[in-house]
Amino acid sequence: MYGNLKDYLTDEIAKLHEQKLYKGERIIESPQGSEITVKGKKVLNFCANNYLGLSSNPDLIKAAHNEIDYRGYGLSSVRFICGTQDRHKELEHKVAEFLGMEDSILFCSCFDANAAVFEPLLGADDAIVTDSLNHASIIDGVRLCKAQRWIYNHADMRDVEETDTTTGKKGKGLERCLKEAKEAGCRFIMIATDGVFSMDGDIAKLPEICDLAEKYGALVMVDESHSSGFMGKTGRGTHEYHNVMGRVDIITTTFGKALGGASGGCISGPKEVIDWMRNKARPYLFSNTLAPSVVGATIKCIELLSSSTALRDKLEENTKKFRSEMTAAGFDIVPGVHPITPIMFGKYDNCSELAVKFADRMLEEGIYVTPFSFPVVPRGKDRIRVQISAGHSTEQIDRAVAAFIKVGKELKMIK
């Protein structure tokens, strides 16, 4: 009896279109890279999570091919039945070493890792203290867990109660939440945060978070999806960038962004935590193991990044160039150091439409960028989010900046 549901969905989908919230997909007819083919036309890609330009790297492709030849296509099993190869263990050790942690456990995605990480460790007597702008997968992971929760205003470390400037909701600072969790007599308290927040590219205040964690006896969990491989001077992540390696207890991260871009993720942390996860984490126990091709290529990727900082250095150089040239051109950019560079439209009339129109014009100019509007970002914070890659050549960045300036003048945003 699909009939009623069909009518309902047809209406709801029509509403999404009306509200301009429907998410269409642009079809790419080439491998991922700094230059891609969209509708038969070559364009420069400035919106991928391909931070280190490794998505179609020849060495990683070769490693994936080799792995298929030597370890097969798939394992048709979860890890604990007959889905663990020597290479899974090798990858787990290599990732842990790269991140500076004791051990790791693999998942098919970081979404799964975040869905897995809280529930086995924390129960109704415990507390999770979580940033209001944390990634959807952390929010879902927290929901799956019985722990009491405190949501702190984004990046607000203080012992205060006030309105969150980013969400517009009344809330509290981190220290206030920790105090309350302590007063409620919680057994374990875990602070959960993104290392880098994906909409503004801002970095979690880890030194202050770690200080507060020590003051209140809390654990620190950081999702490093937008930083593993390139943040910090050897690319280990925001804990290296902020010089708090050894003070973060648990890291989750993805292999689907800088670390090759295919798929997969992990939890890294103390060996007891990882051991417990292998026995209790539901997305690990009840979901198929990571495919050999991904395992082989990710091992190759970690080896590459452990032996040279050339790619993260290039990314840093490209990011500085793009950010400074766009700022000089008069665009309103959220300041920072991360390759996520938000070009803000809030100060112009009809900013949502303007951002959409801008992105369409950019595509005509051969530059693929994406506009973000409510509800993905708060109202009035419409933006085009550019993501810089080590795979971009200097000439490609010049072309992107030139196109931004051309379209910006045309739409009367800059002089």
Return the active site residues.
Answer: 198, 226, 257
User: Are β-strands 250-254 and 219-223 bridged in parallel, bridged antiparallel, or unpaired?
Assistant: parallel
Q: Report the length, in residues, of the chain.
A: 415
Chosen residue from 79, 176, 226, 242 binding ligand PLP by CB under 6 A: 226
Give Rg (Cα) of the chain: 22
Least distance to ligand PLP from the beta carbon of 352, Å? Answer: 23
Kindly indicate which of the ranges 35-43, 62-70, 117-125, 223-231 contains the residues binding ligand PLP, using the contact rule CB under 6 A: 223-231
Sign of the alpha-carbon dihedral angle for 374, 378, 379, 384 = negative
Cα separation values, 118 from 143, 221, 263, 280, 376, Å: 9, 10, 21, 11, 25
- If one asks whether residue 342 binds ligand PLP (CB under 6 A), the answer comes out as no
Q: Return the SS3 of 106.
A: strand
Pick from 57, 85, 137, 148 the residue near ligand PLP by CB under 6 A. 137
Give the nearest distance from C-beta 321 to ligand PLP in angstroms.
24
135 forms part of the interface with ligand PLP (CB under 6 A)? yes
CB of 114 to ligand PLP, least distance (A): 6
Collapsing DSSP states into helix, strand and coil, what is residue 393?
coil
Q: Which of 103, 223, 249, 382 binds ligand PLP (CB under 6 A)?
A: 223
**Cβ closest to ligand PLP, residue 156 vs residue 194:** 194
> Per CB under 6 A, does 265 bind ligand PLP?
yes
Of residues 85, 153, 254, 387, which one binds ligand PLP by CB under 6 A? 254
Only segment of 104-112, 242-250, 282-290, 302-310 that touches ligand PLP (CB under 6 A) = 104-112
The per-residue DSSP string of 135-163 comes to -HHHHHHHHTS-SEEEEEPTT--SS-EEE
Of the residues 141, 173, 256, 283, which one makes contact with ligand PLP according to CB under 6 A: 256
For the chain, the maximum distance between any two Cα atoms, rounded to a whole number of angstroms, is 64
- In angstroms, the CA 318 to CA 310 distance is 12
Q: How far is the CB of 334 from ligand PLP (least distance, A)?
A: 17
If the CB atoms of residues 135 and 176 are measured against ligand PLP, the closer one turns out to be 135
Indicate the residue among 290 and 299 with the shorter CB distance to ligand PLP.
290
Give one DSSP letter per residue of 181-209, joined into a string: HHHTT-S-EEEEEESB-TTT-PBP-HHHH
Task: Using the minimum distance from each CB to ligand PLP, give the nearer residue, 135 or 205.
Answer: 135
Is residue 225 a contact residue for ligand PLP (CB under 6 A)? yes
Out of 119, 126, 194, 382, the residue judged to bind ligand PLP by CB under 6 A: 194
**C-alpha span between 370 and 392 (Å, rounded):** 17
Edge-to-edge order in the sheet of strand 35-38: 35-38, 41-45, 367-368
Position among 50, 85, 109, 268 found at the interface with ligand PLP (CB under 6 A)? 109
Strand arrangement of the beta sheet that strand 170-172 belongs to: 103-107, 265-269, 250-254, 219-223, 189-194, 127-131, 148-152, 170-172, 161-163
Using rule CB under 6 A, residue 341 touches ligand PLP = no
Q: Contacts with ligand PLP: how many residues (CB under 6 A)?
A: 14
Contact between 110 and ligand PLP (CB under 6 A)?
A: yes
Could you tell me the strand order of the sheet in which 383-387 lies?
340-344, 383-387, 370-372
Which residue, 57 or 137, has its beta carbon nearer to ligand PLP? 137
Please tell me whether residue 79 binds ligand PLP under the rule CB under 6 A.
no
Q: Which residues bind ligand PLP (CB under 6 A)?
A: 109-111, 114, 135, 137, 194, 198, 223, 225-226, 254, 256, 265
